[in-house]
Homo-oligomer: A and B are copies of this chain.
Amino acid sequence: MHLQATTPRNVFTQPASRAARPVPQAPALGETVEMMGAVMPFARNAEIYGENEPAEYLYRVISGAVRTYKVLNDGRRQIGAFYLTGDVFGLEIGDVHSFSAEAIADCKIMLIKRSTMVALASRSHDVAHQLWTMTAAELQRAQAHIMLLIKTAQERVAGFLLEMAARTPGSTSVELPMSRQDIADYLGLTIETVSRTLTQLENAAAIAVPSSRRIVLRNPAALSRLNA
């Protein structure tokens, strides 16, 4: 999530470890975060919310990983996004969720009452602006996703790996919390094509796959070139 330089600290993306510390130039919202949300555990594959359910909360990933998805009437599943530690999801402006959300692995999720946020936003332009900013960030993510979906299988997989790497700063190695099926459903491919493509990239020395859930980016430049 990118914030403009003039934007105050984001009450959502604030690391939990520093939440209690007094922060210079921060509005008195640090503690509000603590008050707003309870942390709940979710087991692997547990549903966090379902499509068309009332959007009573928004959610922040404390640990673990989450997928949002829709299922078409013939069973095809499209994953809308993956959310990792620190990410906020489930923010809706309508009153129902437009996707379902599930825990990819065992998770701890902070639940924040939507009504509380809306009330806060009506009194604080900062909070209102943050809500808007988060929606805009989701929009940019969705637009980037669209650009991925029109590409070839190699380009999609390369793009996915670069995206995941960008979210794991300071490392050229990615630990994937999600299965091949999840990746396939995110990229609009089949599991077999994802697997084959990873093998191709490995043979081309662009990546290494020491274990199925760990990918080492040996040649990020080559992946970027594929990323069009």
Binding site for B on A (CB under 8 A): 2, 4, 70, 72-74, 76, 78, 80, 92-95, 98-99, 122, 125, 128-129, 131-133, 135-136, 138-140, 142-143, 145-147, 149-151, 188, 228
Contacts and interface: CB of A to CB of B under 8 A. Distances in A.
A128 to B, nearest CB: 5
Contacts of A133: 93
Contact of A149 (B2, B131, B188, B228): B188
Nearest to A140: B98
Q: How many copies does the complex hold?
A: 2
A125 B131 CA distance: 13
B73 A228 contact: yes
A93 B139 CA distance: 10
The listed residue with most B CB atoms (<10 A of its CB), out of A70, A78, A122, A132, is: A132
A143 B142 contact: yes
A69 to B, nearest CB: 11
Nearest to A137: B93
24 contacts: A4-B94, A72-B147, A72-B151, A76-B150, A80-B143, A80-B146, A92-B136, A93-B132, A93-B133, A93-B136, A94-B136, A98-B143, A99-B143, A128-B128, A128-B129, A135-B135, A135-B139, A138-B139, A139-B139, A142-B143, A142-B146, A149-B149, A149-B150, A149-B188
Nearest to A80: B143
Nearest to A136: B93
Given A99-B143, A142-B143, 16 more contacts: A2-B94, A72-B151, A78-B150, A93-B133, A93-B136, A98-B143, A122-B125, A128-B128, A128-B129, A132-B135, A135-B139, A139-B139, A142-B142, A142-B146, A146-B146, A149-B149
